[in-house]
Amino acid sequence: MAALMLRFCCAGRRWTLSCVDGAFRQGRGPLTGSMSSRIRGQRSVAQHSFTTAQKLKKGEREWAAVVGLEIHAQISSNSKLFSGSQVHFAAPPNSLVSFFDASLPGTLPVLNRRCVEAAVMTGLALNCHINKKSLFDRKHYFYADLPAGYQITQQRLPIAVNGSLAYGVCIRSQHSQVANKTVRIKQIQLEQDSGKSLHDDLRAQTLIDLNRAGVGLLEVVLEPDMSCGEEAAMAVRELQLILQALGTSQANMAEGQLRVDANISVHHPGEPWGIRTEVKNLNSAKFLAKAIDYEIQRQINELESGGEILNETRSFDYKLGCTVSMRDKEGKQDYRFMPEPNLPPLLLFDSESLPAGADPQQVINIDQLREHLPELPSQTREKLMLQYGLRPEYSFTLLNEVGLLEFFHNVMKDTKAKPHTVTNWVLNRFLGSLKQHSLAVSESPVTPSALAELLDLLDGRAISSSAAKQVFQLLWRSPGKTPAQIVSEQKLELLQDREALEQLCRATLEGHAHVVMDLKKGNPRAINKLIGLVCKAALNRADPTLIKEILERQLSS
Amino acid sequence: MTFLFSFFSLDHCGSRLGTKTMLGRSLREVSAALKQGQITPTELCQKCLSLIKKTKFLNAYITVSEEVALKQAEESERRYKKGHSLGNLDGIPVAIKDNFSTSGIKTTCASNMLKDYIPPYNATVVQKLLDQGAILMGKTNLDEFAMGSGSTDGAFGPVKNPWSYSKQHKAKRKEKPHAESEDPDWLIAGGSSGGSAAAVSAFTCFAALGSDTGGSTRNPAAHCGVVGFKPSYGLVSRHGLIPLVNSMDVPGILTRCVDDAAIVLGVLAGHDPKDSTTVQDPFKPFTLPTLTDVSKLRVGIPKEYLVPELSREVQSLWSKAADLFESEGAKVIEVSLPHTSYSIVCYHVLCTAEVASNMARFDGLEYGHRCNIDLSTEAMYAATRREGFNDVVRGRILSGNYFLLKENYENYFVKAQKVRRLIANDFVNVFNSGVDVLLTPTTLGEAVPYKEFIKEDNRTRSAQDDIFTQAANMAGLPAVSVPVALSNQGLPVGLQLIGPAFSDQQLLTVARWFEKQIHFPVIQLQEIMDDFSSVSENEKLPSISLKQ
C-alpha cells in the first residue's frame, strides 16, 4: 500500500500550523453556513502533504499516516429502502413514518427496487464487481432513534465489492497542478438510515424524529489508501460528483445526505501500521480535512511524547478545532450480527443469466444499467480538455465548484470569445469574486449572458482588457445593467482617434525621458512600462497593441 | 386392529347432519345453512358469543370483539339478503390467535409488554378473512409471544382444555380412585395456540388462526381433538404475525375437519407483496378431491420418531393408522430421518437468536408498555423490558444474545444453521426416494393435567413437546395433525402427516381420506352447555341476551 509519507521537522507542530493556516486561507463561510459555502470551503483544505521536503533533524524519524473512510450516502429515491414512506428532507417531524419504520410488531421489510438500482449504478461507476447474490443482515444495538433495535445492512455479502475511485489532488508547490490518485473501494452495501434524536437539554428530554428512519443508504467503504486530510477530502468530493452525476444520491453534506467516518493511524515508514482511531460524523466538507489532519497530528504528538493510541471512537469538535474521545461503549459494542430472515437473498442478473420470461419488474439487469450510465465526472473533464484545450486542473475546478461548469457552458454558448479567454475569466475573475463575497455560483450577480456579452466586447476590441475588468466590477455592483450600457455610460470604449493617441504617446515619451533612456540602454521591458503609462493616461480606453505600434514608430523616428 | 377403531363414533365431518346442532357443524355445513337461510349471520354470531361467555372459564379468549363481530354479522346479513354473499366464509365466526395484528382490536401476545397495544393495521391473513366476510369473534389466548407448548405461560393465565369437561373424559376419569374432587385436574390445551384450539373445540367459532413455529398449531390441535394445519413456509403471508422465529413461523389453521382447513387455506394462501418470503407463483384455491384409491400412495414411517418417551397408547394408534393405510392398499415404508435427534437443540439456538433480535424492538418508545423510570434511556429500557416480559421470554432473549455474540456466533448459530440444512435434507432425501407423505405422532401422549405440566419448566416442556412437530418447521414443510382417537382417559390423540414443500393440497387430500376412515368422536360438553345442546337446527332458536 502506497501510503504517502509525511515528514515533519519539529514534532509536527509546524505541520499543524500550516494546516490551520491553509484551512483558513480561503474559508470564509460561517461555521454553520449554507451548503454552498461548505462546498466552496472544500477548495480551501490544507495542502500540507506536499509541503514535505523539510529536512529532518538528526534523530528524528519520519511519520506516515494512513486514512480510510466509511461514507454513508443517502440514496435519492421516492420511498424508503424497505417501506413505502416518502423520503423528503425537512418534512414536519414524524410525518414520513410507516408502520414498518416505527417497527410495529408484525411488519416486514420489502426491498425498494430503486435503491438496489442506485447501488448497482454506483458500484458500476466505481469499477466494482457487482455480486449477483447479496445478503441482508441485522446489526443490533439499542438506540432511541433505531426503533427495531437493529439496522438492516449487508455485512456478510454486500452488493458490490473491489472497486476503485480515481481522484485528483492539487499540488500547491507546483502551481496548482493536479496529481492523480486512486483509492480502492472495499465494498458498497445497502443499509437503513436511523431516525434522529433531538436532545432538549433544558427539559432533559430526547425527542425522536423517525422521518429519516429506514431511508436507504449506500455505505461506501474506502480502503486506507489515503494519507492526509486533503486526499480524503478530494476523494470524497469526487465520490460526491459521481453520485450526483448518477443521480443516486444528492450527496448534500449540509442536509446529511453524505456523512463520513474516517479511520486514522500513523506509523514510521517500514514499520507496521499503528493503532487506529475512528473519527465519526464528519458531516461537513469544510471540517473533513481539518479533522483528519488534526487527528494525525494528535496521534504523532501522543506517540512522540511517549503516549499510546487507543482504539477508540472520536468526534470532531468544530468549535475547538480538535477531535475528542466519545467515551461511549459504541466502539466496543458487539453488534450480534444475524442474517435478516425476512428478506430472501438479493439476486441480480446480467443479459446472459436473465431468466427467460422473467417479469421485468421483478428482475434487475446489470448490463442494462451499465448501458444507461450517464457521463461521469472524469469523462466530463476529459471532454473539456479535448474540446476546449483546458488544463487538467481547470477541468477539476470547473466540476468541483457547484454550478460552475453549467455557468461556463452558458457563457461559451453565448460568446464568440475563445475558450481560453472564457476559462480565464470564469476561473479567475468570476470565481475569485464569488470567493471574495462568499457567494455560490447560483447567487452570482453576474449572469452568464452578461459575462458573454462583456467577453464579446473584449473579443471585438471594443474595449480594452483593463476596461473589461472595470466593466465586470460595475456589473457585479449593478446587476441590472448590460455591459454595453456600462461601457457607454462610463465611456470605456476603445479610443479610435489615431491622432489623439499619437499625441498621448508623444506626451508620454516626453514626460518620461528616463524610461526612454532605459529602453535605449537595452532594457526591453521598458516598452511595457511606457505602454502602461499611455493606457493609464487614456483612462484604459486605449488598445495596448496599437499603442505599442505607435510608440515603437515614434521612438525609431 | 380394526377393533380399536370400533369405538370411534360415526359423528364426523359431513355426516349425520340432521341431528347435529348448528354450532357443532363444520364450516362447510354451516356455510351451507347460511346460504339456505336456515340461520342468519347475526343469529350464528350471537350463539357463538353466548357460548364464548359460557365457556369463559376455559380462558380461550383474551379479547372478545363482540361489538365488531355483531357489526360484521349485520353487514354479512345484508349481503345474504341481497344475494351477494362473498363466499364460503361470509358470516362464519372465526377466532384469531392474539399474536396476529388486528386493526383497532387489542393484540397482546399474552404479554404485559403489549397488554394495551391496539395495532393500526390488520395482518394480511386477518384482512383476507375479513374480505371474505368472516366474523371476527375475538383474539385467542397463547403462551407469551407464542413461547411455550402448553398455553400456560401467558400474562392472562392458562387455557383450559375443553376435553377436561367432556362427558368422554369424565366417564373415564371417574374410574380413577383419586379423581373425585371438582375441577382440580383440568388439562392443558397444548400450545402455544391453545386458545385457538380450545375455541374451535368448544364450538365458539368454526375456524381459528394459530401460528406454528415448532408445532404450536398442531400440538394444541392434537390435545383438543381438532385439525391443526401448518402450511408450507412461504405459502401464507406472515405480514402482521408478530414473530417468534421469522424463518420458521407460519400462520396455522385450526378447524373441526380437514375439508374446512382446505377452505380456509384457499382464502389465506398466495403471494403477499408485504411479505417477501411468500412464493411468487400464483395460488389457486382448491376443493379437495375425494380420494378413493390409496394404492399408489407411499407412506413413510420415520423410525427415529419411535422414541422411548412416546406413550404406548399413541404408539399403538400410530401403528394402527399405518396398518390402516396398508390395509387400504397404500405402500407403508419405514424411512430414516437421521438428524432428527439434533432438531431440538438446533431449534433452541436458532429460535432464541431470532427471539433476541425480534424482541429488541420492545423498548417502550414507540408502543407497548413503558416503565415509570426516566433516569436515562438505558434505565428506561431495562425496567420496561423487565416489567414487560415474563421469565421465559427474558430467558430466551438472554440465551439468544449469547449465541449471537461475536465469539459464539460460529460455534452456535452457524452450526445450528448447518444442522438445520441437514435436517431439511433428510426430508428432501426421503421424499425424493418416492415417499409421498410421512405419518408420525403429533405429541408424545394425551393432554396432561395442568398440575402435572407445570412441574417441568417451559424450556423442558417445549423441548419434549415439539419433538415430532418441529422438524417440519425447520424444513418449511406442510404438516397436519388429524385427531384419530380417544385415549383410555377419554382424551383426544392426534397423528401427523407431513408432505413435501408446497404439496399442501396433496397432503390435505390424504389427510381427508385418513380422517374419513377413522371417525373421530365429537366432544360432548352437554353438562356445561345445557341450552346449547338442546338446540338443534330444527328447533326454534332462542334469542340470546348479550348483555348479561
Instruction: Give me the half-sphere count of Cα atoms (radius 13 Å) on the Cβ side of residue B99.
Output: 33
Q: Which of B121, B276, B401 lies closest to A343 in CB terms?
A: B276
Say which of B31, B192, B481, B487 is annotated catalytic. Answer: B192
Q: Which of A106, A336, A338 lies closest to B240 in CB terms?
A: A106
Q: Which of A106, A109, A147 lies closest to B365 in CB terms?
A: A147
Give yes or no for a cis peptide into B164 (omega within 30° of 0): no
Could you tell me if B363 lies within 8 Å of chain A, comparing CB atoms? Answer: yes
Q: Taking 90 as the threshold, does the pLDDT of residue A527 lie above it?
A: no
Radius of gyration of chain B measured on its C-alpha atoms: 22
Provide the 3-class DSSP secondary structure of residue A291: helix
Residue A51 binned pLDDT confidence (cut-offs 50, 70, 90): very low
Q: Which of A99, A138, A362 lies closest to B120 in CB terms?
A: A99
- What is the structure's pLDDT at B258? 97
Query: CB–CB of A108 and B114 under 8 A?
Result: no
Shared domain check, A59 and A123:
yes
B27-43: average pLDDT: 95
- What is the structure's pLDDT at A2? 37
Is residue B111 flagged as an active site residue?
Answer: no
Give the separation between CA A301 and CA A294, rounded to whole angstroms.
Answer: 10
Shared domain check, A145 and A30:
yes
Convert the pLDDT of each residue in B398-443 to its tens digit: 999 999 999 999 999 999 999 999 999 999 999 999 999 999 999 9
Q: Which residues of B touch A79 (CB under 8 A)?
A: none
Considering only residues A47 and B476, tell me which one the structure prediction assigns the higher pLDDT: B476
For A214: left if phi > 0, alpha if psi spans -120 to 50, otherwise beta; the answer is left
Q: Is residue B204 in some structural domain?
A: yes
Give the separation between CA B246 and CA A109, rounded to whole angstroms.
Answer: 12
- What is the structure's pLDDT at B529? 61
Could you tell me if A362 lies within 8 Å of chain B, comparing CB atoms? Answer: yes
Q: Which residues of A touch B409 (CB under 8 A)?
A: 336-337
β-partners of residue A153 are A137
Q: Is residue B493 in some structural domain?
A: yes
B16-37: average pLDDT: 81
B515-522: average pLDDT: 92
Shared domain check, A252 and A170:
yes
Shared domain check, A446 and A315:
no
Compute how many other C-beta atoms are within 10 angstroms of the C-beta atom of residue B291: 16
Residue B113 binned pLDDT confidence (cut-offs 50, 70, 90): very high
- What is the structure's pLDDT at B7? 33
Q: How far is A152 from chain B (nearest CA, A)?
A: 11
Tell which B residues from 99 to 118 touch A, by Cβ distance under 8 Å: 100-101, 107, 109, 114, 117
- What is the structure's pLDDT at A360? 83
Q: Is residue B378 in some structural domain?
A: no
Query: CB–CB of B276 and A103 under 8 A?
Result: no
Shared domain check, A405 and A318:
no
Provide the 3-class DSSP secondary structure of residue B302: strand
Query: CB–CB of B239 and A108 under 8 A?
Result: yes
Q: Taking 80 as the threshold, does the pLDDT of residue A36 lie above it?
A: no
- A-to-B residue pairs, Cβ atoms closer than 8 angstroms: 103
Give the separation between CA B460 and CA B462, rounded to whole angstroms.
Answer: 6
Q: How far is A194 from chain B (nearest CA, A)?
A: 14
Q: Which residues of B touch A147 (CB under 8 A)?
A: 361, 365-366
Rounded (10°) CA dihedral B257, B262, B263, B267: 140
Please answer whether residues B227 and B256 qualify as being in contact, where contact means their C-beta atoms are separated by less than 8 angstroms.
Answer: yes
Q: Which of A105, A109, A342 lies closest to B361 in CB terms?
A: A105
Convert the pLDDT of each residue in B344-397 to its tens digit: 999 999 999 999 999 999 999 999 999 999 888 899 999 999 999 999 999 999
Convert the pLDDT of each residue in B179-238 to its tens digit: 455 556 899 999 999 999 999 999 999 999 999 999 999 999 999 999 999 999 999 999
Give the separation between CA A141 and CA B369, rounded to whole angstroms.
Answer: 20
- What is the structure's pLDDT at A58? 57
Nearest CA in chain B to A111: B276
Q: Is residue A115 in some structural domain?
A: yes
A55-70: average pLDDT: 81
Maximum Cα interatomic distance, chain A, rounded to a whole number of Å: 100
Would you call B402 exposed, middle or buried from its count of C-beta atoms within 10 A (0-12, 13-18, 19+)?
middle
In terms of DSSP bridges, do strands A160-171 and A129-130 run parallel, antiparallel, or are they unpaired? antiparallel
Q: Of the candidates A27, A487, A92, A18, which has an alpha carbon nearest to the alpha carbon of residue A288? A: A27
Convert the pLDDT of each residue in A161-214 to its tens digit: 999 999 998 876 655 688 999 999 999 999 999 999 998 888 888 899 999 999
Is residue B433 flagged as an active site residue?
Answer: no
Query: CB–CB of B277 and A106 under 8 A?
Result: no
Q: Is residue B297 in some structural domain?
A: no
Convert the pLDDT of each residue in A98-130 to its tens digit: 999 999 999 999 999 999 999 999 999 999 999
Shared domain check, A287 and A265:
yes
Provide the 3-class DSSP secondary structure of residue A278: strand
Q: How far is A84 from chain B (nearest CA, A)?
A: 10
Give the separation between CA B266 and CA B260, rounded to whole angstroms.
Answer: 10
Query: CB–CB of A147 and B413 under 8 A?
Result: no
- What is the structure's pLDDT at B496? 98
Provide the 3-class DSSP secondary structure of residue B345: helix
Residue A90 binned pLDDT confidence (cut-offs 50, 70, 90): confident
Q: Is residue A131 in some structural domain?
A: yes
Convert the pLDDT of each residue in B122-179 to its tens digit: 999 999 999 999 999 999 999 999 999 999 999 999 999 999 999 999 888 865 555 4
Please answer whether residues A153 and A137 qualify as being in contact, where contact means their C-beta atoms are separated by less than 8 angstroms.
Answer: yes
Shared domain check, A197 and A309:
yes
- What is the structure's pLDDT at B546? 23
- What is the structure's pLDDT at B178? 53
Give the separation between CA B447 and CA B429, rounded to whole angstroms.
Answer: 33
- What is the structure's pLDDT at B457? 87
Q: What CATH number is associated with residue B287?
A: 3.90.1300.10
- What is the structure's pLDDT at A15? 30
Considering only residues B176 and A450, tell me which one the structure prediction assigns the higher pLDDT: A450
Shared domain check, A306 and A169:
yes
Q: Which residues of B touch A206 (CB under 8 A)?
A: 377
Q: Is residue B260 in some structural domain?
A: yes
Nearest CA in chain A to B101: A106
- What is the structure's pLDDT at A176? 67
- What is the structure's pLDDT at A319? 86
Could you tell me if A156 lies within 8 Å of chain B, comparing CB atoms? Answer: no
Q: What CATH number is associated with residue A525?
A: 1.10.10.410
Give the separation between CA B152 and CA B142, rounded to whole angstroms.
Answer: 7
Average pLDDT, chain B: 90
Convert the pLDDT of each residue in B329-344 to its tens digit: 999 999 999 999 999 9
- What is the structure's pLDDT at B109? 98
Convert the pLDDT of each residue in B74-87 to its tens digit: 999 999 999 999 99
Shared domain check, A546 and A454:
no
Choose, out of B244, B250, B363, B410, the residue to mutate when testing the contact with A (most A CBs < 10 Å).
B363
Q: Of the candidates A85, A109, A70, A346, which has an alpha carbon nearest to the alpha carbon of residue A215? A: A85
- What is the structure's pLDDT at A424? 92
Shared domain check, A290 and A183:
yes
Could you tell me if A24 lies within 8 Å of chain B, comparing CB atoms? Answer: no
Could you tell me if A149 lies within 8 Å of chain B, comparing CB atoms? Answer: yes
Give the count of domains, chain A. Answer: 3
Convert the pLDDT of each residue in A141-164 to its tens digit: 999 999 999 999 999 999 999 999
- What is the structure's pLDDT at B530? 53
Choose, out of B124, B365, B409, the residue to mutate when testing the contact with A (most A CBs < 10 Å).
B365
Shared domain check, A95 and A214:
yes
Domain that holds residue A431: 377-490
Helix (H) or strand (E) holding A397: helix A392-400
Q: How far is B271 from chain A (nearest CA, A)?
A: 13
Tell which A residues from 502 to 531 touch B, by Cβ distance under 8 Å: none
Q: Is residue A450 in some structural domain?
A: yes
Nearest CA in chain A to B238: A106
Is residue B97 flagged as an active site residue?
Answer: yes
Q: Is residue B129 in some structural domain?
A: yes
Boundary residue ending a domain (A339, A368, A391): A339
- What is the structure's pLDDT at B542? 35
B40-67: average pLDDT: 96
Give the separation between CA A5 and CA B539, rounded to whole angstroms.
Answer: 99
Q: Taking 50 as the threshold, does the pLDDT of residue A41 lie above it?
A: no
Per-residue three-class SS string for A136-203: CEEEECCCCCCCCCEEEECCCCCCEEEEEEEEEEEEHHHCCEEEEEEEEEEEEEEEECCCEEEEECCC
Q: How far is A104 from chain B (nearest CA, A)?
A: 8
Query: CB–CB of B246 and A341 under 8 A?
Result: yes
Convert the pLDDT of each residue in B484-516 to its tens digit: 999 999 999 999 999 999 999 999 999 999 999
Give the count of domains, chain B. Answer: 1
- What is the structure's pLDDT at B174? 61
Q: Which residues of A touch B120 (CB under 8 A)?
A: 99, 104
Domain that holds residue B522: 2-291+478-534
Query: CB–CB of B377 and A144 under 8 A?
Result: yes
- What is the structure's pLDDT at A268? 94
Shared domain check, A65 and A23:
yes
Q: Is residue A195 in some structural domain?
A: yes
